[in-house]
Amino acid sequence: MGVDVVPVALGDRAYEVRIGAGLIDRAGAEIAPLLRRKKVAVITDETVASLHLLRLAEAFSAQGITMTALSLPPGEATKGWPQFARSVEWLLDSQVERRDVVVAFGGGVVGDLVGFASAVLRRGVRFVQIPTTLLSQVDSSVGGKTGINTAQGKNLVGAFHQPSLVLADIDVLDTLPARDFLAGYGEVVKYGLLGDAAFFDWLEVNGPSLRRDAGLRQHAVVRSVQMKAEIVARDEHEEGDRALLNLGHTFCHALEKATGYSDRLLHGEGVAIGCALAFELSQRLGLCAQEAPSRVRAHLKAMGTKVDIADIPGDLPGAEALLGLMAQDKKVIDGTLRFILARGIGQAFVTSEVPGEMVKSLLVEALR
């Protein structure tokens, strides 16, 4: 099993996503060609550092590259102003210069924060993503959306800043807790559902084995990244098609807000529930056959992830309140709810013609 390379075709900002086993141990050699001097600054989180930073340090040292590292506390709360300021100042203190390379080593939290820090440091330095969660390998490390959360909401401050290289080590996922793995799987399934029915067929058969089988896992990551790369290359700044990547996300964002971005619901779990709801809604609007939402639900259930709103522990606000939260979503343009719906598995499209009443009755039933 070798390394798969997925190009992200963005002209002078083009880069490669390299996906394979053991890439962390080869990171020094992979990154060396980008360096103008033999020095890198790595930002990670404490959990990833304790499990994997030594290997990364050895990989750089084997190439004669000096590595300095900063470990941030793990968790979504890190993705805000205080740790952002700390990271930027640490990079300046470490004398990272305009031509140097910063490495983001961790999940989506580290990737988003470090990407944004790199975007603004000295008006922009290059950075490399080494994503260590399934979610970050298939989604957040590719596409150049970076940023932090503020008191006003999630991801409200940030920049488009593409990485210079992404190294997705399939083996690093071995230490990922089962729940985080399944949450990342929510985004994997999303790719099949939005644009590749054959991939969804493949996931129905192989999804349950991904956690144990590195070969299957690599294929799932490669196919997901290919789809993301293709969409991002078509529409880097989300003026059109990139919105397809938000399948399931309008529902998800409302549910995340309703649960206060807490441990009650991980983002990928919300995406899985949101995809099931989006297909249910599509069926009710007469866009697709009943078979489609049934298959989506059956597969998510077989994987053991959350499928229904009822799978979220604790109390939730009513349908009206959830609808209100959906309307606040950033995909609302001029007050009409924008949805990603589907004509079948692998056939998603963007629409703003969704009657609020229809969504509300779906939510009323889902909350029962």
Nearest to 125 by CA among 88, 178, 71, 154: 88
Rounded CA-CA distance 35/29 in Å is 11
Kindly tell me which residue out of 166, 172, 231, 272 binds ligand NAD, with binding defined by CB under 6 A.
172
**In contact, 146 and 158? CB cutoff 8 Å:** yes
Q: Is 271 in the site for ligand NAD (CB under 6 A)?
A: no
Q: Is 236 in the site for ligand NAD (CB under 6 A)?
A: no
Rounded CA-CA distance 279/259 in Å is 23
- What 3-state DSSP class applies to 101? strand
Amino acid at 258: A
Q: Is 143 in the site for ligand NAD (CB under 6 A)?
A: yes
Smallest distance from the beta carbon of 276 to ligand NAD, in angstroms?
A: 19
Q: What is the number of alpha carbons within 13 Å of residue 168 lying toward its C-beta?
A: 32
Q: Is 269 in the site for ligand NAD (CB under 6 A)?
A: no
Rounded CA-CA distance 332/352 in Å is 9
Of the residues 187, 236, 256, 280, which is catalytic? Answer: 187
Q: Is 195 in the site for ligand NAD (CB under 6 A)?
A: no
Smallest distance from the beta carbon of 23 to ligand NAD, in angstroms?
A: 13
Give the total of residues touching ligand NAD (CB under 6 A): 28
Q: What is the number of alpha carbons within 13 Å of residue 307 lying toward its C-beta?
A: 14
Instruction: Determine the angle formed by the axes of helices 178-195 and 291-303, rounding to 10 degrees.
Output: 160
Q: Is 79 in the site for ligand NAD (CB under 6 A)?
A: yes
Nearer Cβ to ligand NAD (104/292): 104
**In contact, 353 and 341? CB cutoff 8 Å:** no
Q: Is 133 in the site for ligand NAD (CB under 6 A)?
A: yes
For every residue of 289-307, DSSP letters joined together read -THHHHHHHHHHHHHT---
Rounded CA-CA distance 140/110 in Å is 10
Q: Which residue has the tokens 């098609």?
A: 241
Rounded CA-CA distance 181/165 in Å is 23
Rounded CA-CA distance 71/200 in Å is 37
Q: Is 235 in the site for ligand NAD (CB under 6 A)?
A: no
Smallest distance from the beta carbon of 108 to ligand NAD, in angstroms?
A: 2
Residue nearest to ligand NAD (CB): 108
Nearest to 128 by CA among 227, 230, 32: 32
- What 3-state DSSP class applies to 250? helix
Q: Which residue has the tokens 């260590």?
A: 132
Nearer Cβ to ligand NAD (290/328): 328
Kindly tell me which residue out of 49, 135, 188, 194 binds ligand NAD, with binding defined by CB under 6 A.
135
**In contact, 188 and 203? CB cutoff 8 Å:** yes
Nearer Cβ to ligand NAD (224/283): 224
Q: Which of residues 109-128 bind ligand NAD (CB under 6 A)?
A: 109-110, 112
Rounded CA-CA distance 169/27 in Å is 10
> Mask: binding to ligand NAD, 34-63, rule CB under 6 A, as x and -?
-----------x-xx--x------------
Smallest distance from the beta carbon of 140 to ligand NAD, in angstroms?
A: 3
Nearer Cβ to ligand NAD (148/288): 148
Of the residues 18, 219, 242, 331, which is catalytic? Answer: 242
**In contact, 107 and 131? CB cutoff 8 Å:** yes
* Numbered residues of the known binding site for Zn(2+): 187, 249, 267
Q: Is 132 in the site for ligand NAD (CB under 6 A)?
A: yes
Q: Is 233 in the site for ligand NAD (CB under 6 A)?
A: no
Kindly tell me which residue out of 87, 136, 164, 305 binds ligand NAD, with binding defined by CB under 6 A.
136
246 tagged catalytic: yes
Stretch that binds ligand NAD, among 28-36, 71-79, 287-295, 358-366 (CB under 6 A): 71-79
Q: Under the rule (CB under 6 A), what is the footprint of ligand NAD?
A: 45, 47-48, 51, 74-76, 79, 106-110, 112, 132-133, 135-136, 139-140, 143, 145, 155, 172, 175-176, 180, 267
What are the residue numbers of the active site? 123, 145, 187, 228, 238, 242, 246, 249, 253, 267
